[in-house]
Structure 1
């Protein structure tokens, strides 16, 4: 939200008062409380007015500094609050001197100067992170006439777009950025990956992947200087990233309060660990979800015969398939959502699902939280009060998605139990996963069962929606078997994986914007990411489809899905191309072989909160060249993926400066610290193993395996890549239930690599620089002489 008119002036209609003096500073055993005045108080007469700001600095989680700013504290307690893991008994260290006071939490601290001029600075150890001084923290009042005129202009679209706060007060903070500092995150953003120069508004929207709107907005960003800033609000927070004052990140929130956290860390992985300590770790999706998903697509015609032909076609072509997804039209038109199968298309749904399960498939079905007027559930929900209501108490309805649809009110506990009951009937039939679509177009001129502010509920709604469905899966299948395929999200949504990137077009530019969105989301605490392979809208040329298959199967989760056309590979052979099936099989089998490595990385994401699919700057925070990379990424700790996104088949990529990297498919090596250009056929997507690493491969072959859930140790191969003299590489192998089987450690001394591991009852292989030895059952070490 820009209110500045250049540097010196404010726009017409706005009055800005900046914190200018820490007039009164008090300390308690766990907080610093500051009364900030908008000018330097020279005499008692100047204390007769305001506006003053009451600012509290505290810490409720190690390595986080909590800043709470109040103007008026007499408002209603009707604000939805994110579920944070705060410890009210956490005690930071507080030190006070004559001219400053500091609060220390772990290695992160804030220093507030006690002097005439306002100055607040944040540090990690001795490294300066950010801070604010003159013209930073402020309160903004909007002229009544100006506010009314602007609200009147927006009246027509107020239901789905943010109405300006009628009290016309905003709290704003501005934090300094250094020269060359880059900002990332804010949830799923399809705009350029480096957010400097952008205006970012935290408001969930159903806008596709080709605009600045997004389905998953998170008021959290990370910096290339290895710190994070989390604004604890579900409101429409507006961020100006070096786009208002060009040396600052500015964030503004409507109302009388603002709360944010500064999160320090040794590097960006460390920062994300601390952020997910606060907001929740990603849950671990079941191992089978990492296999290939196939969808009916959206508006295509399909029945049991169609579904069976798809599954038979994949088996005949030896393409391993793990999950089959039924999109919207498993229900009868105009009746979404009634949670009942369209008996005209699927006369025996229980029998169909059993037949699919007998073939080794898991089942996913589409839902949203909207109930059309033609659904038999509409009258029940209306009578019981299970829907969001208009201000007059009537049911809110719209024709936006289904004629006369209502929206389930998840602030009503009875509505949640009703919704879960409907889902459990599907689970009884054999449904394993739920695609929770929509949740973004939530109106604001309404009222909720719990009386919460409807404007602040707009973004928060998706949390309650996905939480309800995820809990239903946990209650039925157990806490280690729940998996969603969700589109919308807010803070904490990472606890309910998996999330996919939404409606993208079937072209190369959409592949690129999808990747940017995924990397931004995974920079915001989300551990797992998927997207519609082949593009959602329209039908891709075979060239794009094949490149997207590689990209999709080298993401954490892989789903073929479209809008008006099927995504089975053989339909792309009709233009004379014969490789689509071969390419899909190649990368599906490769992902199956990589499951021991991928599953270990997924377990790490779950326990530590570091995203499994991460940008290069997160993985290499000290490498300046990585700051701007958004067309390649790390998949786990040790594999760099470079999707090919052009008709020429050219891959352009940077190899970080920490040794020699190895392409796991071709065996080619690349010296670190350099940029490379390589022409690739459809089977040569660059997959580069990090030096001084171990990547574990399983015994997976499409000839005899159609599932990614298998014995990850028996006849596995631990490949040691680029191990330098005196260095050590490590890996862990888990079984499919997340029980640790063994740790593997490789150490090089001269031309001898010694590999040690915990004894097991199964044999596996160890390979380094083309030489392979057998690690026999019961043994604990082997040596490879190079």
Structure 2
């Protein structure tokens, strides 16, 4: 981490720090949508003070309704190399802005949000345009630049090759304010007090490293901050200075956007307008996914036996996934099935689908090309791999021997990679697990596109990698039929779903880590998320497996996956066939998710449109006025109307919180009044799953198998303490709305003509 201060009074060792001390001049933009502030690093009392002094330029611009950007620049002549985030990818909306003077200072409005500059005290206040809500501010000594090591004379800055230059800002934290998001992070849910580096890394789920670093955070005070760079960002969230969030980057510029809500839903919706709405995913992807696991010994017969065993035990598989060793050792990624173990992959995949053992097939890939694999020679010869500065192909032996990295800044390399994907699609592959993409080198490398900064490419590579594969799937199967299983991400990657939680251990603590990771990613603009049910590393005891099954089947997407051990249920407990055994437990939760599909898939469409997480949705999204909701990291919402609390104890004991209102247990029908904390004890077939009052919950037929069926036929409609106007949308398997069920003044459904077959309506 980069520290600029040693306590409140001193600079850190080897640091030279200069702060913007006053607003010397304010220049409005000609179009009235921005202000440029000239800020010297010394108060200017006389003409001589303007000499031998650095300045920071602060550009404050109205970007969209509720969004203002702030850019701090020291030397404007520095190249601003790419890549840059694709902002407003669905089109930039018009913004109503104004600039006016008052006793408070100069104010810029951008729809519902405003910034007021008080040049006398160097305070820039961000607040609602009506002045009713204060958000945060930049105060004295909160904007500046720094050198490391500290130069002894300004003359040394003539040669910057051995000096690091940083820009930083410090936004204020209010009393009791909490901070959330910043991607899929596995530590404490509230980030206040933490030092965080936004730098994608393969660190597992039990460290402060993260696969998915998203430069966006959400505040409990009704706003969010998006840091507009894919470069490494160093954050001190109430840590280096307890009352401020410090944001620092190496370079001459730092830009961020403040996004006003005031509710978390409104903040996330505006963030999705800025960086992109999540992509839609097909209905079949919500069904159960099963993999071969990673280093286990498997072949064509193993796959067949797994799928037959799952069907026989009542947990039919929607998607089967072939993990790494579908290719021969030392060849990843070659795009070629191991012909010793899979002599006829196209034929086997076709037979699996025809027999109904699975509906879709996924395979593992990564952007690394092993030297021994069939693809390496062609990729190296044609310049499709990243190179060192001396012209050599960049290679190392970490992960795959002699592996290179596909240079996706080369359009021809992209075409080649997509051609190889299409060969897999020709064999019947429907989905791709885009693993890795975190270990992207930044030193001694030269990209095909010379305009990019290697340091920015490290995080941004995740965006390019997933975009290319996602769009290849769209081109083959249709716009809304594409789905990934991606491990790495950065801001904007929510457009290419879905993401899963990476390598977790097979422990209850790791399951809790995974929940925190899913909550954080959901508060970073991602609608869909999954994890390795049972844990990836190690072999879970049967009780952990069953508890994780319950949590995992309530995620938006559900996959059984492990490292060196299988995750089919019968290997966990010697094929215990009792009701509390692994097989029956998995069957129950798979069936429950199938029943919930009318609700889940309808809410998925809304989540995409609004930029909200489907599941895991933090309770604070639905109940932002409840202070307790901002600290809940062991439970989550499934859409807006279901609250789930995973069980982390073998005994089945669990403590959970219910916000204001009446809540009905899905399993028992018991009604509890919130707010309050509750304790329960559960077997393996249930957990605290509570339905919010005023909910119209549509459940699929108990006879329905899998995720794809008619969501309007033979359904059960449950009315939970409903009032006039309560609604539920009904969609088809493509996600198109086919009707709405609405409660009338008599407390009953107005019109049920959209429902078919033997449907039932129950009042609870």
Q: Same fold (TM over 0.5)?
A: yes
Q: Which residue of 2 aligns with 1:779?
A: none
Shift of 1:167: 4.0
Q: What is the rounded CA distance, in whole Å, between the counterparts of 1:538 and 1:19 in structure 2? A: 53
1:627-652 CA-partner distances (Å, limit 9, x unpaired)? 11100000101000111011221111
Q: What do you get for the CA RMSD once the two structures are aligned? A: 1.7
Number of paired residues? 743
Deviation at 1:88, TM superposition (A): 8.8
Q: Counterpart of 2:610?
A: 608
1:277-676 matches, cutoff 5 A: 277-360=273-356, 361-445=359-443, 446-451=445-450, 452-574=452-574, 578=578, 579-613=581-615, 614-657=617-660, 659-676=661-678
User: SS of 1:545's equivalent?
Assistant: helix
Q: Report the alpha carbon displacement of residue 394 of structure 1 after superposing the two structures with TM.
A: 0.6
> How far apart, in 2, do the equivalents of 1:596 and 1:234 lie?
38
* 1:736-767 per-position Cα deviation (integer Å, ceiling 9, x unaligned): 011111111124x5xx4131247437356453
1:274-303 Cα distance to aligned partner (Å, 9 max, x none): 001100011011000000000000011111
Q: State the 1:359 CA deviation.
A: 2.9
Cα separation, 2, equivalents of 1:575 and 1:697: 30
Listed one character per residue, the Cα deviations across residues 444-496 of structure 1 (whole Å, up to 9, x for unaligned) are 11111112111111111111111110111011111110000000000101011
3-state SS of paired residue (1:400):
coil
- Where do 1:6-405 residues align within 5 Å? 6-28=7-29, 29-85=32-88, 87=92, 90-97=95-102, 100-115=105-120, 117-124=121-128, 125=130, 126-143=132-149, 167-360=163-356, 361-405=359-403
TM-score (norm 2): 0.95
What is the alpha-carbon distance in structure 1 between the residues aligned to residue 60 and residue 80 of structure 2? 21
Alpha carbons of 1:165 and 1:502: their partners in 2 closer, same or farther (altered >3 Å)?
farther
Corresponding residue for residue 784 of structure 1: none
Provide closer, same or farther for how the CA distance between residues 100 and 144 of structure 1 changes in structure 2, counting only shifts above 3 A: closer
Structure-2 residue corresponding to 1:781: none
* Cα offset, 1:621, TM superposition: 0.6
Tell me the secondary structure at the aligned position of residue 389 of structure 1. coil
CA distance in 1, matches of 2:401, 2:307: 34
Are 1:20 and 1:37, in contact at CA under 8 Å, matched by a contact in 2? yes
Where in structure 2 are there 5+ consecutive unaligned residues?
153-159
How far residue 61 of structure 1 moved from its aligned partner, in angstroms, is 2.0
> What is the Cα deviation at residue 60 of structure 1?
2.1
Secondary structure of the residue that 1:767 maps to in structure 2? Answer: strand
Residues in 2 aligned to 1:619 and 1:248: alpha-carbon distance in whole angstroms: 27
**Structure 1 residues 99, 43: closer, same or farther in 2, change over 3 A?**
farther
Match of 1:153 in 2: none
Of 570-579 and 362-371, deviating more is: 570-579
CA distance in 1 between partners of 2:93 and 2:719 (Å):
46
* SS of corresponding position for 1:651: strand
Please state how far the C-alpha of 1:572 moved relative to its aligned partner.
Answer: 1.4
1-structure distance, mates of 2:126, 2:46: 31
Say if 1:577 and 1:317 are closer, same or farther in 2 by CA, change over 3 A.
closer
How much does 1:442 deviate?
Answer: 0.8
Alignment partner of 1:137: what SS?
strand
Mapped partners of 1:44, 1:479: distance in 2:
62
Shift of 1:607: 1.2
Once the two structures are superposed, residues 529-558 of structure 1 have per-residue CA deviations (whole angstroms, 9 ceiling, x without a partner) of 100001101100000000000000010000
User: 1:504, 1:510 within 8 Å by CA — same for their partners in 2?
Assistant: yes
- Residues 234, 249 of structure 2: 8 Å contact kept: yes
Task: Work out which of the residue numbers 729, 735, 756 in structure 1 matches 2:750.
Answer: 756
**In terms of mean alpha carbon deviation, does 96-105 or 82-91 score higher?**
82-91
Is residue 732 of structure 1 aligned with residue 729 of structure 2? yes
Structure-2 separation of matches of 1:74 and 1:764: 71
Instruction: Tell me the SS of whatever aligns to 2:748.
Output: strand
Q: Partner of 2:69: helix, strand, or coil?
A: strand
Following TM superposition, by how much is the alpha carbon of 1:620 offset from its aligned partner in structure 2, in angstroms? 0.9
1:714–1:37 CA distance, 2 compared to 1 (3 A):
same
Are the counterparts in 2 of residues 287 and 736 from structure 1 also a CA contact under 8 Å?
yes
